[in-house]
Amino acid sequence: MDAALIIGLVSIITAGFTVSIGGIGPALGEARAVAQALAAIAQQPDEAATLSRILFVGVAMIESTAIYCLVVSMILIFANPFWNYFVALAAR
Amino acid sequence: MNISPDQTILLDLGMVKINATLVFTWLTIALLAGFGRWATRKLSTTGELPPWQNVLEVLVEGVQRQIGDIARQDPRPFLPFIATLFIFIAACNVLAVVPGYQPPTGSLSTTTALALCVFVAVPLHGIRRLGLRTYLKNYLEPTPLVLPLNIVGEAARTLALAMRLYGNVMSGAVVGAILLTVIPLFFPVLVHALGLLTGVVQAYIFAVLATVFLAAGAAAHDRNNGGPPAPTAPVSKSTAASPPAAGDDTHHN
C-alpha cells in the first residue's frame, strides 16, 4: 500500500471513531443537564427564564467537547494536511 | 471541499491576499453600519417614534436587560462591546441563508479574532473597575498555587470560545453542502432553517459567555470581600436603578 492509501484509510476510520466516541460523553452530559433543568422548571415554573438561560449556556459549554471532535474529524476528512502533503509529493 | 471561506481567494495582490472571509466581513460591517446610520437618521423623543427607532430601542434595551440579569452589575460599561459582538455574529449567521454568502463566522480566523477581543476586554474592564493591583491579585486567589491554572484557564476558555462558534457555523455549512449532494430535493432547506436557529443561539451564547467572563473579571473584588450575596450589595444601587432607568434612558437620547 502506498502512503496516500494508508493515510486515507486511517483518516476516515479515525474520523468515524472520533465523532462516535466523542459524541457519547456530551450526549450523556447534556441529557443529564436537560433532565435536571426540566425537573427544576417543574418545581419552580416562575424561574423558567433564568433556568433556561443557564441551561442554554451550560449545554453550549458541554457541547463544545463534541464540537471539538467534529472539527477534528472534518479536518481529517476534508482538509487533511498529511494527505495534501503526500498528494503534492506524488504529483512532483 | 472548502471547509473555510479562508480558502476562497478572490483577489491576489502578491503580499496581500483578499479572501472571501475578509470580503464578507467587510460586507457585513458595511451593511450593519449603513443600517444603523439609516435607521437613526431622524430620531425623535416626542410623539410618534419612527418604526426603526423602535426596533433598535427594543434591541438595545433587550441586550441591556440581559446583561444586567447575567452580570448582576451595571450593564452600561459592557453594553457597547457585548451588543456589537451579538449583532455582528447574529447578522453573519443569519445572512448565511442568502445564496452565495459565506458566513465569516465559519472561518477560524474570524472567531479567533472575536475571542481575542474578549480575551483583551476582560483585563481592560477588570483593571478599569478594580485597579491593576486588585485585578492581578485575583489571579492569586484562593492560593498562589493556582496561578498557572488561572492563566491556563484564561487561555483555554478563549480557545473554547473561538472553536465553539467556528465548529457550529462550519458544521452547519458543511452538513448543508453534503446533504445537497446526497438528498438535494428538500432536506437542505430544513438544515438551513435549523441553521438560522442555531446561528442566533450561538450568537446569544457567545455574547452570554463574554458577559460572564467580563463580569467575573470585574466582580472579583466584591467576591473577595464577602460571601455569595456580596457581589450584588456594593453595586445594588446601580443594578436596582438600571432596569427601570434603561427604558427611560434610551427614550431621552
Digit-coded pLDDT (tens) for B113-145: 999 999 999 999 989 888 888 888 888 877 888
B222-247 burial, b at 16+ Cβ within 10 Å, e below that, comes to beeeeeeeebeeebeeebeebeeebe
Which residue in A has a C-alpha nearest to residue B175's C-alpha? A74
Element housing B9 (H / E): strand B9-13
Q: Cα A82 vs. chain centroid, distance in angstroms?
A: 22
Give the ipTM of the model, two decimals please: 0.76
- Looking at residue B225, what is its pLDDT? 47
β-strand partners of B12: B17
CA dist B96 to B21, B84, B93, B99, B199, Å? 12, 18, 5, 7, 9
Q: Read off φ and ψ for residue A59, nearest 5 degrees.
A: -65, -40
Digit-coded pLDDT (tens) for A65-86: 888 898 888 888 888 888 878 8
Distance separating alpha carbons of residues B17 and A8, to the nearest angstrom: 30
Residue B211 touches partner A, C-beta closer than 8 Å: no
- Which grid coordinates belong to B209? 459567555
Task: Note whether B202 contacts A60, CB cutoff 8 Å.
Answer: yes
- Looking at residue B173, what is its pLDDT? 83
- Domains of chain A (ranges; CATH) run 3-91 (1.20.20.10)
Let me know: does A54 contact A60? Beta carbons within 8 Å: no
Name the percent of chain B lying above pLDDT 90. 24
Q: Give the HSE-up count for residue B21: Cα atoms under 13 Å, Cβ half-sphere.
A: 19
Residue A26: pLDDT band (50, 70, 90) is: very high
Digit-coded pLDDT (tens) for B165-188: 998 888 888 888 888 888 888 888
Residue B240: pLDDT band (50, 70, 90) is: very low
Minimal CA–CA distance to B102: which of B190, B173, B194?
B173
Distance separating alpha carbons of residues B8 and B23, to the nearest angstrom: 10
Minimal CA–CA distance to B72: which of B200, B223, B206, B203?
B223
- Which grid coordinates belong to A58? 451550560
CA dist B69 to A45, A47, B64, B124, B241, Å? 18, 13, 9, 22, 13
Task: Note whether A60 contacts B205, CB cutoff 8 Å.
Answer: yes
Using the predicted structure, report yes or no on whether residue B93 has a pLDDT greater than 70: yes
- Looking at residue B91, what is its pLDDT? 94
Q: Read off φ and ψ for residue B161, nearest 5 degrees.
A: -60, -45
Using the predicted structure, report yes or no on whether residue B75 has a pLDDT greater than 90: no
- Looking at residue B87, what is its pLDDT? 94
- Which grid coordinates belong to B179? 446533504
Contacts of B30 (CB under 8 A, 6+ apart): none
Q: What is the largest CA-CA distance in chain A?
A: 68
Nearest neighbour of B164 by CB, restricted to A56, A60, A79: A60
Residue B2: pLDDT band (50, 70, 90) is: low
Minimal CA–CA distance to B167: which of B94, B105, B211?
B105
Task: Note whether B170 contacts A79, CB cutoff 8 Å.
Answer: no
Residue B193 touches partner A, C-beta closer than 8 Å: no
